[in-house]
Amino acid sequence: MPEYRRILLDGAAVQVTVDGGELVAGDGRRVRIEEAQHLPPVVPSKVIAVHLNHRSRVEEFGIRLPGTPTYFHKPTSALNSHRGAVVRPEGCKWLNYEGEVAIVIGRTARNVSPAEAGEYIAGYTVANDYGLHDFRDTDAGSMLRVKGSDTLCPLGPGLVTDWDFHGKRLRTYVNGEVVQDGSTDEMEWDMHYLVADIARTITLYPGDVLLSGTPANSRPVRPGDVVEVEVEGLGRLTNHIVTGPTPIRTDVGAQPTESEEVLSTALGGDWEFRGIRAPRR
């Protein structure tokens, strides 16, 4: 399966192909993979993510899925790359990983059927749909800061074409230990369905990204942790967590909170009490 990556080469963003342990540019220049400075493998006009899709995650929440998927938006300013630093802002504590498969659009798609959707997909890459749950109380509807803060959308390492999404294993590691272990077969709605659903009312352009959902056991990470998401046939996306250079400003906007809604989402328990217990002091 061909794999394409984007790297910074001699000061310019360049698309390269994987050839063994090397990356090869169109003009023949080569760089070893471990020496390359990676960029997100695509340049989307938008990133759209499904809320819940993996059955293990739904069971963990102790809820029932709606009849059709629901979505949120991650701004492109949240994009990050393989080996990039993921920022947990100073003053925040509840930054969670979410290993996922990302769908990359290859042709302009509008009002296509699920049966046709595969023709509009360029390929797939690995994603980590980080969530900054400190802002969950104030952004519960939009998820804007929770999911859209800077650096919270790593993609990579490459775009793989001709990848069959059926029966593929997805694992997330923190400091080398497996923390998520799922399969694409536990998705309620497959990749083609998601593309067709969004494209009914939102035009999808080449490079646009759809995040397809995470399995159970999303949990908080902290500065110094190394987080890796590995998808069978797509590779391993690696990032490390750092503390932001400045604290969350206190002279404007909502502040980070530690309500039961925040804690139960971040820590994965006591779902029946979500949103009804008093905030911690």
DSSP state of 248: P
Buried b (16+ CB within 10 A) or exposed e, 73-97: bbebebbbbbbbebbbbeebebbbb
Q: How far is CA 48 from the centre of its chain?
A: 10
Q: Could you count the other beta carbons within 10 Å of the beta carbon of residue 17?
A: 14
Give the Å distances, CA to CA, from 141 to 70, 95, 131, 135: 11, 18, 14, 11
In the chain, count of helices (H) and strands (E)?
A: 5, 20
Residue (of 150, 148, 146) closest to 135 by Cα position: 146
Query: What SS3 class is residue 35?
Result: helix
Walk along the chain (281 residues) and give the pLDDT tens digit of each residue: 899 999 999 999 999 999 999 999 999 999 999 999 999 999 999 999 999 999 999 999 888 888 999 999 999 999 999 999 999 999 999 999 999 999 999 999 999 999 999 999 999 999 999 999 999 988 877 899 999 999 999 999 999 999 999 999 999 999 999 999 999 999 999 999 999 999 999 999 999 999 999 999 999 999 999 999 999 999 999 999 999 988 888 988 889 998 878 888 888 755 555 555 444 43
CA neighbours within 13 Å on the CB side: how many for 180?
32
Predicted TM-score (pTM) of this structure:
0.93
DSSP state of 7: E
- Let me know: does 199 contact 111? Beta carbons within 8 Å: yes
